[in-house]
Amino acid sequence: MSKKGKRYNEALTKYDPQHLYGGQESIELVRSLAQAKFDETIDLVIRLGVDPRKSEEMVRGTVALPSGTGKNVRVAVFAQGETATAAKEAGADFVGGEDLAAEVEGGMLDFDVAISTPEMMPTVGKLGRALGPRGLMPNPKSGTVTDDPAKAVQDFKGGKVEFRTDRYGNVQVPIGKASFEAPDLFNNLKAVVEELERLKPSSAKGRYFRKVSVSSTMGPSIQIDSLNLTE
Distance, in Å, from the CA atom of 186 to the CA atom of 179, rounded to the nearest integer, reads 13
Distance, in Å, from the CA atom of 37 to the CA atom of 122, rounded to the nearest integer, reads 44
Query: Would you give the distance in Å from CA 131 to the centre of its chain?
Result: 16
* Domain stop point among 157, 172, 198: 157
Query: Do 142 and 112 lie in a common domain?
Result: yes
Query: Do 153 and 165 lie in a common domain?
Result: no
Residue 54 domain-assigned?
yes
**Can you give the residue range of the structural domain that contains 206?**
15-69+161-228
Query: Do 150 and 166 lie in a common domain?
Result: no
pTM, to two decimals: 0.80
Query: Do 151 and 170 lie in a common domain?
Result: no
Distance, in Å, from the CA atom of 149 to the CA atom of 135, rounded to the nearest integer, reads 18
Helix, coil or strand: residue 78: strand
Residue 57 domain-assigned?
yes
Report strand pairing: 113-116 vs 75-78: parallel
Query: Do 195 and 207 lie in a common domain?
Result: yes
Query: Do 65 and 173 lie in a common domain?
Result: yes
Strands in 53-167 per DSSP E: 60-64, 75-78, 94-96, 113-116, 160-164
Instruction: Kindly give, in sequence order, each residue whose CB lies less than 8 Å from that of residue 176, ignoring residues fewer than 6 positions away.
Output: 41, 42, 65, 67, 68, 69, 70, 184, 185, 188
pLDDT, tens digit, 9 for 90 and up, residues 175-222 = 999 999 999 999 999 999 999 999 999 999 899 999 999 999 998 899
pLDDT value at residue 1: 36
pLDDT, tens digit, 9 for 90 and up, residues 108-161 = 999 999 999 999 999 999 999 999 999 899 999 889 999 999 999 999 999 999
Residue 100: give its domain's CATH number: 3.40.50.790
Query: Do 114 and 223 lie in a common domain?
Result: no
Distance, in Å, from the CA atom of 49 to the CA atom of 81, rounded to the nearest integer, reads 44
pLDDT, tens digit, 9 for 90 and up, residues 11-26 = 677 788 889 999 999 9
Instruction: Kindly give, in sequence order, each residue whose CB lies less than 8 Å from that of residue 51, ignoring residues fewer than 6 positions away.
Output: 57, 169
Number of domains in the chain: 2
Residue 24 domain-assigned?
yes
* Domain stop point among 157, 178, 202: 157
Residue 55 domain-assigned?
yes
Burial of 98 (0-12, 13-18, 19+ CB in 10 A): exposed
Residue 113 domain-assigned?
yes
